[in-house]
């Protein structure tokens, strides 16, 4: 199909701008048969500028072209200026093979330059071709698990076929691009936009593709090989039920469903956490989230006094250590596994893939990891429960600072988490401010109470549970005073837990009782002001810990329950979406609840996006989104 034919098919034979007419099918079209690495700098909301002339004709229906016409178009584009690739957006392209595979390809964004962020496209496989049993997506949990599985299969097929291998020449005139990438998941099963199962049974995959070039000239033949020939193979192998290992697929979905069920059972059982017998908690290294090999790892063995059992829908009876509500300490010598257990519980708010080792390590879904965070911004937060009577009469009921200390940052982290619904706090002594956690007798004798503005956490932890129902799980290695306030004490000894509650209580009784506050204090809802969230420039996410929000850098490196870059991408756009709900009256919690409700109502994270069919989102909890909003240095709040 020549360029003139293409536009006549697009706009009709009466000239540009008139009624759109889809390309007429050619007789041979129906007989045609073809036998991680995404750039994090994606949130450039200006990166669609310069889209082709057809981009401003959105109201016109997009015509459908055949797969051979797509091949012809790549032939026509060969060796033209790179911007001519924008013609790909002027139609959707239908693939229909003799073997029964039917799908449509559409380009949602076409890069304007070979060095720009990759182009984005999506494929929708017809229900009859995909043919996944409705039982696999009959609930939200199953749908998330199925989409996660298919994303992994697509990523694996792209990797094994070499389709994800980018060619990058150091020479200006060298060939570059040609790779197809999907949002490849890690060990966690998250709600994503990479693959979607539609109510009709159609399956949609969203991916990026670096359209190949040599210098700034189109490599049309190479693009044809990648899109016209390789892509149908990936679709056939990864998005068609008949091509899947049915046993593995069902095992994946059922495992996720069992984990979700187990987590939902915790509250009624009086627990905030559960670690399954035989779990593999250690990871391969600090740079890898993969499990340590089973022969090298110490399998988790629960103490008999804390052993609990649950019956799950698919795997049946599971047994492990139940962590009751209240105050629980994890103690023991250094390098004996205390922090390893807590880290596993941190990510127990998420489901995991089979054989991860942490599949049945679950925690209260509203559990939040708390730590100190020097230099963070705090805006109009009531930290008077922990810090009061500051020098120069500084008001701590509306405390703001651009440079928080360790203790004030930790106080703010707790109060902000409680403000939006946290019900369990996870705390590791190693990452806390010492003066916030404890104040021993000798220091109390030297520094009078009226000269110390900090009320340590040890004096509030009981009131926090008694008055607000908020439990705490703490790793404690050097502050034995916490024995006096604990409900349960677990000692890790060579990675094996022992219930030492009785011994710890006896030791505590031999010493003076720790002073406790009977009142926790206030948790005040704050009202975000719209003017504090305007963007002066672009919004760009970088990895797990950074968002460039206009001219301001947002540091999320201390928000430890963000586990994938795709969650950071979602947070970057969700902050701007949340801004649309700000009216000067709604509290932060109300705004986040509205956003969550809209996502749930529409069934898609697309509501946060400024990109059509964006495939690189993964859903964060509202607790992490709130943490990001609270750390934005331009944020403005009022009470």
Q: Are 561 and 625 in contact (CB under 8 A)?
A: no
Residue 571 lies in a domain: yes
* pLDDT score, position 48: 47
* pLDDT score, position 169: 55
* pLDDT score, position 49: 41
Residue 133 lies in a domain: yes
Count Cβ neighbours within 10 Å for each residue of 51-87 and write b for 16 or more, e otherwise: ebebeebeeeebbbbbbbbbbbbbebbbeeebbbbbb
Residue 391 lies in a domain: no
Q: Model pTM?
A: 0.90
Please give the C-alpha separations between residue 363 and each of 166, 262, 279, 310, 500, in angstroms, as whole numbers.
40, 9, 14, 14, 22
What is the distance in angstroms between the CA of the first residue and the CA of the last residue of the chain?
64
Residue 194 lies in a domain: yes
Residue 144 lies in a domain: yes
Residue 169 lies in a domain: yes
What's the domain count of the chain?
Answer: 2
* pLDDT score, position 60: 57
Nearest alpha carbon to residue 23 among 31, 15, 11: 11
Give residue for tokens 């010493």: 511
Q: Are 205 and 114 in contact (CB under 8 A)?
A: no
* pLDDT score, position 582: 98
Give the span between the Cα atoms of 398 and 412, in whole angstroms. 11
Q: Which of 189, 215, 244 represents a domain boundary (last residue)? A: 244
Task: Report which DSSP code applies to 413.
Answer: H
Q: Which of 195, 226, 244 represents a domain boundary (last residue)? A: 244
Residue 513 lies in a domain: no
Give the span between the Cα atoms of 615 and 338, in whole angstroms. 37
Q: Are 537 and 45 in contact (CB under 8 A)?
A: no
* pLDDT score, position 294: 85
* pLDDT score, position 394: 86
Give the span between the Cα atoms of 435 and 454, in whole angstroms. 8
Give the span between the Cα atoms of 395 and 383, in whole angstroms. 9
392, two tokens: 């120069």
SS (HEC) of 529-596: CHHHHCCCCCEEEECCCEEEECCEEEECCCCCCCCCHHHHHHHHHHHHHHHCCCCCCCCHHHHHHHHH
* pLDDT score, position 171: 59
Residue 73 lies in a domain: yes
Note the pLDDT tens digit of each residue in 139-160: 999 999 999 999 999 999 999 9
Q: Which of 210, 227, 244 represents a domain boundary (last residue)? A: 244
Residues of the chain with pLDDT under 50: 7-8, 10-41, 45-59
Question: What is the extent of the structural domain holding 119?
Answer: 3-26+51-244
């Amino acid at each position: 199909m020549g360029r003139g034919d293409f536009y006549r098919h697009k706009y009709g034979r009466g000239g540009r701008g008139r009624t759109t007419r889809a390309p007429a099918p050619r007789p041979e079209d129906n007989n045609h048969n073809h036998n991680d690495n995404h750039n994090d700098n994606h949130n450039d909301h200006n990166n669609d500028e310069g889209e082709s002339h057809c981009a401003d004709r959105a109201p016109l229906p997009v015509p459908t072209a055949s797969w051979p016409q797509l091949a012809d178009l790549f032939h026509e584009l060969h060796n033209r200026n790179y911007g001519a690739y924008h013609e790909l957006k002027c139609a959707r392209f239908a693939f229909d093979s003799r073997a029964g595979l039917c799908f449509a390809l559409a380009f949602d964004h076409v890069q304007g330059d070979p060095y720009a962020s990759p182009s984005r496209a999506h494929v929708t496989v017809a229900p009859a071709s995909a043919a996944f049993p409705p039982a696999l997506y009959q609930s939200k949990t199953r749908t998330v698990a199925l989409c996660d599985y298919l994303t992994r299969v697509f990523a694996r097929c792209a990797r094994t076929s070499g389709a994800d291998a980018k060619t990058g020449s150091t020479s200006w005139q060298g060939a570059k691009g040609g790779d197809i990438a999907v949002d490849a998941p890690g060990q966690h099963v998250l709600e994503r936009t990479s693959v979607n199962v539609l109510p009709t049974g159609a399956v949609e995959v969203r991916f990026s593709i670096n359209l190949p070039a040599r210098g700034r000239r189109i490599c049309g033949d190479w693009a044809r090989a990648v899109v016209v020939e390789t892509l149908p193979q990936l679709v056939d192998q990864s998005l068609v039920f008949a091509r899947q290992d049915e046993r593995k697929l069902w095992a994946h979905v059922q495992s996720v469903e069992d984990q979700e069920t187990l987590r939902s059972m915790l509250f009624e059982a009086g627990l905030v956490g559960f670690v399954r017998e035989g779990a593999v908690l250690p990871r391969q290294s600090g740079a890898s989230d993969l499990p340590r090999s089973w022969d090298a790892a110490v399998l988790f063995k629960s103490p008999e006094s804390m052993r609990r059992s649950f019956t799950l829908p698919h795997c049946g009876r599971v047994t492990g250590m139940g962590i009751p509500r209240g105050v629980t300490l994890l103690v023991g010598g250094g390098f004996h596994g205390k922090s390893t257990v807590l880290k596993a519980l941190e990510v127990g708010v998420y489901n995991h893939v089979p054989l991860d080792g942490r599949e049945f390590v679950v925690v209260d879904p509203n559990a939040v990891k708390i730590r100190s965070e020097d230099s963070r911004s705090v805006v109009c937060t009531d930290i008077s429960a922990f810090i009061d009577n500051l020098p120069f009469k500084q008001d701590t009921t509306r405390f703001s600072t651009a440079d928080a200390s360790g203790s004030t940052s930790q106080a703010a982290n707790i109060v902000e988490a409680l403000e939006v619904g946290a019900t369990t706090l996870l705390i590791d002594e190693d990452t806390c401010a010492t003066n916030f956690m404890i104040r021993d007798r000798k220091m109390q004798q030297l520094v009078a109470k009226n000269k110390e503005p900090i009320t340590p956490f040890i004096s509030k932890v009981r009131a926090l549970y008694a008055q607000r129902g908020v439990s705490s799980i703490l790793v404690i290695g050097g502050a034995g005073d916490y024995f006096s306030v604990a409900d349960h004490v677990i000692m890790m000894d060579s990675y094996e837990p022992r219930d030492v509650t009785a011994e710890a209580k006896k030791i505590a009784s031999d010493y003076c009782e720790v002073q406790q506050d009977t009142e926790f204090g206030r948790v005040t809802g704050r009202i975000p002001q719209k003017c504090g969230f305007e963007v002066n420039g672009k919004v760009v996410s970088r990895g797990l810990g950074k968002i460039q929000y206009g001219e301001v850098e947002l540091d999320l490196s201390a928000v430890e329950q963000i586990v994938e870059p795709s969650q950071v991408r979602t947070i970057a756009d969700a902050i701007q979406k949340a801004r649309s709900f700000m009216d000067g009256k709604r509290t932060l919690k109300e705004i986040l609840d509205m956003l969550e409700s809209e996502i749930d109502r529409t069934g898609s994270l697309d509501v946060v996006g400024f990109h059509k069919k964006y495939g690189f989102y993964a859903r964060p909890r509202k607790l992490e989104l709130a943490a990001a909003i609270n750390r934005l240095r331009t944020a403005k709040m009022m009470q």
